[in-house]
Amino acid sequence: MKKIIAWTFIGYILYALAMTFYIWIASDTSIPSELAGTMADPATFLNEEELLLVDEYAKIRNTLYFLTLPTEWIFYFILLLLGGARAIQRWAERITKYKWIQAGIYLFWLTLFLTFVHFPFSYIRYQLSVKYNITVQPFSGWMRDQLVGFWEGILVMWIVVCVLYILIRKFQKWWWVISWLLFIPFIFLMMYIQPVVIDPLYNDFTELKDKELEEKILGLAAESDIPAEKVFEVNMSEKTNSINAYVTGVGGNARIVLWDTLLTKLNEDEILYIMAHEMGHYVMNHIVVGISGYILFSFFGFYFVMRVAKWSIRRFGERFHIQHLNQLASLPLLLLLVSLLLFVASPITNAVSRHQEHAADVYAIKLTKNPAPAIGAFQEITKSGLSEVNPPALIKFLRYTHPPMVDRISYLENYLEETDKHLD
């Protein structure tokens, strides 16, 4: 056991050194030579100090991401190996005979321990964001969001874990199928309540105050046959200097939301392009496609977790102090497998997301018929968030749900040039 733990940490150190070397020395973030001097070249819209800040911030942030990535897996593995998973179960069983309360106690301690593991990295990311003037949120506000997220996560997972283990105990062979069937309405429920229950826990949402701008945004929505009646703004200026907008929710709770920082840093045409981009997601049914794909993926995911979990208990159950899958002590094993599966699938889901984002860019150009403001908007997004214009290949592969700015801006510039040629 000591050797396994020792080699686990040695492996982590070697991995950390390899990733640090790749990010700081081996990777190439320079733009293609043919794009030098174009609007996609950060040297044309960032000064020398901003260029240095973008490079530093991206490298530090990417390093932190990869250092943090395996810590959750290592935590679950060590917890199982040392018998901690079983010990927490026994402690919960001594407190109460009620299974649903045992699940709550187990989740509290498991989440608390994992939070302690992640907190140093989360705090460093927060301080880094403050140092580079991305985050303006005071530490007290940041800690409040951490606490809200802690309890929100426990509450949601409590419901999930209680239902899951009831099914595992009652339907040993087909629990994964029934769980998947129940997972489908659960996804829609969470997406439905997200805008009206969960999001307001972190920020204040109001109707867009600029009614003239709202009228123009709703005009674009009408052109796209989107039955929108309101546009919402969120007070993100209390937390960040970066800018964003998004579509959230399903059915009657679907919302188009923009950050209030967007209103102060972009001009009207740039804002209209960003909102047209979000409308593109709605018109092309990206939310529906995303949910459908997630449901299909989750079917195979449940099957994979079931098969590997059963094999792991047969093969390593004695070492993990687990006899059956229906024990609460198996929860870290299930969470470990889910986390690993999501990571392995992330390159595919990221690629699909990047494709959808590009399609929304194209839709927004056709809707607004004015690509020039889009270029200005993307340049300002880069500047305000110190975004990396051309990330290393591995970073893009594993992290980017949007096309890199070099691709988005160069596409828009080419589109603008083609439009000018046709006009001539």
Q: Which of 283, 303, 337 is the last residue of a domain?
A: 283
Q: Which of 261, 283, 305 is the last residue of a domain?
A: 283
15 and 162 part of one domain: yes
231 and 159 part of one domain: no
Other residues' Cβ atoms within 10 Å of the Cβ of residue 332? 25
* pLDDT value at residue 226: 76
At 125-167, the pLDDT tens digits run 999 999 999 999 999 999 999 999 999 999 999 999 999 999 9
13 and 139 part of one domain: yes
Active site residue: 214, 270, 278, 357, which one?
278
* pLDDT value at residue 351: 95
Which residue, among 414, 408, 416, has the nearest Cα to 372 in the 3D structure?
416
Confidence of residue 253 (pLDDT cuts 50, 70, 90): low
CATH code, domain carrying 221: 3.30.2010.10
187 and 329 part of one domain: yes
Largest CA distance in the chain: 81
370 and 415 part of one domain: yes
278 and 341 part of one domain: no
43 and 183 part of one domain: yes
142 and 22 part of one domain: yes
18 and 37 part of one domain: yes
Average pLDDT of the chain is: 91
At 70-101, the pLDDT tens digits run 999 999 999 999 999 999 999 999 999 999 99
Other residues' Cβ atoms within 10 Å of the Cβ of residue 395? 22
H/E stretch holding 256: strand 255-259
Count the domains in the chain: 2
- Token pair of 331, please? 């929860």
Q: Which of 283, 308, 336 is the last residue of a domain?
A: 283
More confident residue, 220 or 15: 15
* pLDDT value at residue 80: 95
Cα 319 to Cα 338: distance, rounded to the nearest angstrom: 21
Which residue, among 257, 232, 233, 271, has the nearest Cα to 368 in the 3D structure?
271
209 and 197 part of one domain: no
Share of the chain above pLDDT 90, in %: 74
- Residue pair 284/363 in contact (Cβ under 8 Å)? The answer is yes
66 and 169 part of one domain: yes
- Residue pair 165/103 in contact (Cβ under 8 Å)? The answer is yes
Q: Is the pLDDT of residue 343 over 60?
A: yes
User: Which residue range is the domain that position 270 belongs to?
Assistant: 205-283
270 has catalytic annotation: no
Confidence of residue 231 (pLDDT cuts 50, 70, 90): confident
324 and 302 part of one domain: yes
* pTM of the full structure: 0.91
